[in-house]
Structure 1
């Protein structure tokens, strides 16, 4: 009558659903319908023994739909039911019309029927897709492009088991991107080609566990590195961030579904982990802006110092050139002075020569006209030398 799924807690098949009401008694009164499509029968017993999980089951001979009630189909039904109930009770989706797997999105080139479709009073559409089976990145991109072309916000959730949930290998866990781990993170899983395609389109993978009604968000933590001023800090900071598309695996941060919200502007399911992602991203961008501004200041200071050194060098060169010019001018003045003195000396000599030329020869050459006394004759060689007294 309530059309809500009941979850049998692990190991509580023989316990009480509520005070005074056991699970077996609740089932015996025919209060639980089988969620398998086109079944319509009630569960007739509780299986609480052996190695298998405690669960509800039909009576022998009833409910012949083993192929329909496989684990994946029941998980899928549970996930759609959980999402539907969450959307119906979420304050942010109040007044929206909900459709569970019954309203297709049609375009001229095809159609798709989302698992859960929420339509606002003004026509905004949000499609929730719960993916349990294998899916390639190419197929996901085609579906994502289809919803974008139809103007529908598509939110993808993956199963917490099966092909979409593969624990990380020991080798992957040793990678430097995954060494640091928060103890509150639930698990570490591999990022398949589908997840890498989503990351390249800016979509963060999410996982849904309908039993615990929790959402797992792809998360990682990387180590800080020495960065120069102005260098990007996006992938070099020890904070919770969405994984890079080249990461082989990621950690899973689990949050209650009731604490999540729909961000229509970003087109995603806003989990508390995603809020932390955005907060850290904004902080890192602010730090990067500060680093860039600091780098601009450093470059301005270096430029000012370089200009000051250039100015000093130019001033020194100008002073040197002025000293050289002054020395050259001084040498030129001295050279001109010597030349003038030489010219003056030559003029004086020329003037003296002209004056001498006008003088008589006796005045010009007095020795030539002076009468010298006759000298004593030299005695013959045969005469002995007489010593003068």
Structure 2
């Protein structure tokens, strides 16, 4: 992560914390959220959280449970509400709808109603269905409708089991209805499983940012979403944070030994074939809905987009460098070929020149020999061979024959 790209990390987020931080106000019958480290503060001017709990005015959201007994606000624990002594708390799966599902829908509803970009939108929490012309209908957990009903955004918070096929059916339903669907998964339960050591040994998961809160498995459902171009997100209602999946990609070395440990990487969404990914936590208040790309944009997604642009720019620069290197190599090879051709031509010309010189020398020599022969023929034999024709000396005495005739 580059230093100039800040990211809001919540160290306490996605720790599978199940402390109850939402309560129903007995006076307004509205859900009230207890921010962390605010258990000793005022809930509203003149009234503290502790005083309101002591009066029995903050009730457990689970139906028929009753008021909370106290506020736990001490030490390093997350500030939360506790039931009276002798009455236990709730497991996350208790009741027809889990406490955490209720909490998540309330957190999302509060965020939508307070978001500057959606302040004038109509908010529906689990009360307005969406119906297709063929009669199919679905009721989203949270539905935000723009003025004039030109745009609808459905938020689905998934706590129960869901297969990739079921998700694809629901996703196609919202697409056919012209509704932007945003999926958020639970911070515990079947959709939150810590990655195994073997899964973390992928090159993209060996190094991580210190602010990333966890490394979780990517099951078939999340892999299906990634194949469809949908980035899965997680929601922790106790800290009001959204988790974004991240993997750190390192550029492939161009030559053996070029890659060095600690080289700059790119923080991008994981591939669909990945078994696990890192989770970066960002405050829900810093997120917004991008209607063009039909997704919830977290600060980490903003970083991923910038990283994607940087990766493309780096790849283009690398391709340009490779093309320039190829051009230079080809130019050098062409220059070598031209030099070799020129050298071969010069050697051939020199060889032909020497051959002509030798041929001319041989021809001149033959001409000289013919001229000498012709000149010799004009000279009388007596001049050529004077001893044969010189008679001035007396003849030599006749030799006595050593044999006698009979």
For the residue of structure 2 that corresponds to 1:301, the secondary structure is helix
Indicate if the aligned counterparts of 1:116 and 1:129 stay in contact, CA closer than 8 A. yes
Indicate if the aligned counterparts of 2:142 and 2:154 stay in contact, CA closer than 8 A. yes
Structure 1 residues 331-346: aligned runs within 5 Å: 331-346=358-373
TM-score normalised over the length of structure 1: 0.75
Structure 1 residues 259-338: aligned runs within 5 Å: 259-338=286-365
Aligned equivalent of 2:12: none
Structure 1 residues 42-57: aligned runs within 5 Å: 44-48=66-70, 54-55=81-82
Which one of 95, 106, 112 corresponds to residue 81 of structure 1?
Answer: 106
Which one of 252, 255, 262 corresponds to residue 282 of structure 2?
Answer: 255
Q: Name the one with the larger helix percent.
A: 1
> What does the per-residue CA deviation read over 1:354-377, in whole Å, with 9 as the maximum and x for residues that have no partner?
x98xxxx9xx99968969856556
Total equivalences in the alignment: 359
Structure with bigger gyration radius: 1
Indicate if the aligned counterparts of 2:36 and 2:239 stay in contact, CA closer than 8 A. no
1:242 matched to 2:269? The reply is yes
Give me the CA root mean square deviation: 4.3
In structure 2, C-alpha distance between the alignment counterparts of 1:302 and 1:244, rounded to whole Å: 36
For the residue of structure 2 that corresponds to 1:329, the secondary structure is helix
Which stretches in structure 2 are left out of the alignment for 5+ residues? 1-26, 73-79
Which one of 137, 144, 155 corresponds to residue 118 of structure 1?
Answer: 144
Once the two structures are overlaid, the 10-residue window that deviates more, 105-114 or 267-276, is 105-114
TM-score normalised over the length of structure 2: 0.73
Aligned equivalent of 2:240: 213
Which one of 90, 94, 99 corresponds to residue 115 of structure 2?
Answer: 90
Greater RCO (CA < 8 Å, at least 6 residues apart)? 2
For the residue of structure 2 that corresponds to 1:163, the secondary structure is coil
Which stretches in structure 1 are left out of the alignment for 5+ residues? 61-65, 383-389
For the residue of structure 1 that corresponds to 2:103, the secondary structure is helix
**Structure 2 vs 1, CA of residues 304 and 68 (structure 1 numbering), >3 Å: closer, same or farther?**
closer
> What does the per-residue CA deviation read over 1:303-323, in whole Å, with 9 as the maximum and x for residues that have no partner?
221121111111111111111
Indicate if the aligned counterparts of 2:92 and 2:98 stay in contact, CA closer than 8 A. no
